[in-house]
Amino acid sequence: MTEINEVSEKKTQNILSEIGQLVVKNIRDYMMYIVLVGIIIFFTVTTDGSFISAGNISNLFNQAAYVAVLAIGMTVILILRQIDLSVGYVAGFSGAVCAILLTNYGWPVWIVIPLVILIGVFIGFYQGMLVTGVGVPAFVTTLAGMFIFRGLLGVATSKTGTIIIKNKAYLALNNGFIPDFKNDTGYHLVTIFIGIVAVVCVLVTQIQNRKSKEKYNFNVVSMPIFVVGMILVSCVIMLIITVLAKDQGIPWSAVIVAVVLLCYNFILNKTRLGRYVYGIGGNDQAAELSGVNVKKVTLIAFMAMSGLAALAGILYSSRLASATPTAGNAFEMDAIASSYIGGVAVSGGVGKVTNTIIGTLVIMSLTNGMNLMGVDTFMQYIVKGIIFILAVAFDVTTRRKNR
């Protein structure tokens, strides 16, 4: 009897020490989640629960969508040790072009959206060529871009001021929800279905991943921790899904962000292009001498970034149902902060778009929560700035220790 006790005691001790090691090793990632949970709890308490109401969660997703899209693109730019300051006003300008084409010219949505994204890609081509071809540093190129597109946005909206958009399909992008079957269960069935599919996908890929790691004798976390982790992740997904399903379902904006995220995650982790991005960020000379076309990869990243900026502009103008002369102001700040809070290394070469999304949620939860509390906008900037600098300082110190 005592023997069995001893054995099980030993086992728990082993697991505890493993958890300890995991925490030490991944403190950076865990910290991000802890901060996010802390923020959520804080606002839930201070707003008497309205922060985690279904309505506010969809609202948070809708608010965060344009920042998330920008932050995903920015992550790649920052991994490459570049920067793009122009994204805010490229977004603002793109929104204005959409509004003009839809409202003043009456063009159909399915032409306007691809066209505007294409214009964005072209803007990225112009800026990327300046950086890679001419050799102007990205900071200068995109600072100039900031001037230019702020000006163009002003010119585009100078006659009319704010341009109202009334196209229903366009407005649904960042205000609407995915459709559902007619039913009287009180739940949004398609949402629940998507939630289940998501959980199954996560479980299958994680289990496959673990199996292939075991096959090659790589380190994997012990079974109990793995199982608990999987249960935790599944619960979180299903919790959010249930809350949303009780209300109006998944907002379109979340779908759009998810698609962009999956594409970027796939490219960064599974393709040569993604490998090259990390290689260039880690050591561009070594990458060049390994046969990587550094200029081409950098140019592609800038084109994708501005394309996403255009998409962000579309989402933002859809949400406001209008294009305003001030749209785009300080978007780049939220995007860059999201990436860094999400763990992109300040020295480049390291970063994950999946973590950037968490960074975006941190930043936008702060915005959303403080709005609910009625905190003044300028105070909000101060709070966000403090959280941002703390995150990066923490990142820099933990990275140094791990070396």
Partner 1 sequence: MSDNILEMKNITKTFPGVKALDNVNFSVKRGEIHCLVGENGAGKSTLMKVLSGVYGFGTYSGDIVYDNEVVRFKNIADSEQKGIAIIYQELALIPELSVYENIFFGHEIMKGKTIDWNETIVRADEMLKKVRLNVDPSMKVKNLGVGNQQLVEIAKALSKNVKLLILDEPTASLNEDDSKNLLELIKELKKQGVTCIMISHKLKEVKAIADTITVLRDGATICSLDGTEKEISEAEIIKNMVGREIDNIYPARINHKISDKIVFEIKDWTVEDPLKGREILHNVNMKIREGEIVGLQGLMGAGRTELALSIFGNTPHYNITSGELVMEGRTLNIRSPREAINEGIAYVSEDRKGNGLILIQDIKYNNTIANLKELTDGIVINANEEIKVSNFYKDSINIKAPSIEQKVGNLSGGNQQKVQLAKWMFVHPKLLILDEPTRGIDVGAKFEIYTLMNRLVEEGMSIIMISSELPEVLGMSDRLYVMSEGTITGELEALEATEEKVMALAIKH
Q: What residue ranges bind partner 1 (CB under 8 A)?
A: 212, 216-219, 270-272, 275, 278-279, 282-283, 285-293, 349-350, 402-403
How buried is 1 (Cβ within 10 angstroms: 0-12 exposed, 13-18 middle, 19+ buried)? Answer: exposed
Rounded CA gap, 143 and 168, in Å?
A: 35
Residue 255 CB, nearest approach to partner 1 (Å): 24
Nearer to partner 1 by C-beta: 36 or 273?
Answer: 273
Tokens read off for 250: 């998944």
Nearer to partner 1 by C-beta: 183 or 397?
Answer: 397
Provide the H-helix boundaries in 158-293. 168-172, 189-215, 223-246, 252-270, 272-282, 284-289
Nearer to partner 1 by C-beta: 134 or 289?
Answer: 289
Nearer to partner 1 by C-beta: 163 or 277?
Answer: 277
- Spatial neighbors of 63 by CB under 8 A, at least 6 apart, are 319, 364, 367, 368
Nearer to partner 1 by C-beta: 235 or 286?
Answer: 286
Residue type at position 268: L
Residue 279 CB, nearest approach to partner 1 (Å): 5
Residue 213 CB, nearest approach to partner 1 (Å): 9
Q: Could you tell me which of 270, 198, 268 has the C-alpha nearest to residue 235?
A: 198
Question: CA-CA-CA-CA torsion for 287, 293, 295, 301, nearest 10 degrees?
Answer: -90
First-to-last alpha carbon distance for the chain, in angstroms, is: 46
Rounded CA gap, 158 and 174, in Å?
A: 25
Residue 77 CB, nearest approach to partner 1 (Å): 18
Nearer to partner 1 by C-beta: 251 or 274?
Answer: 274
Residue 270 CB, nearest approach to partner 1 (Å): 5
Residue 23 CB, nearest approach to partner 1 (Å): 14
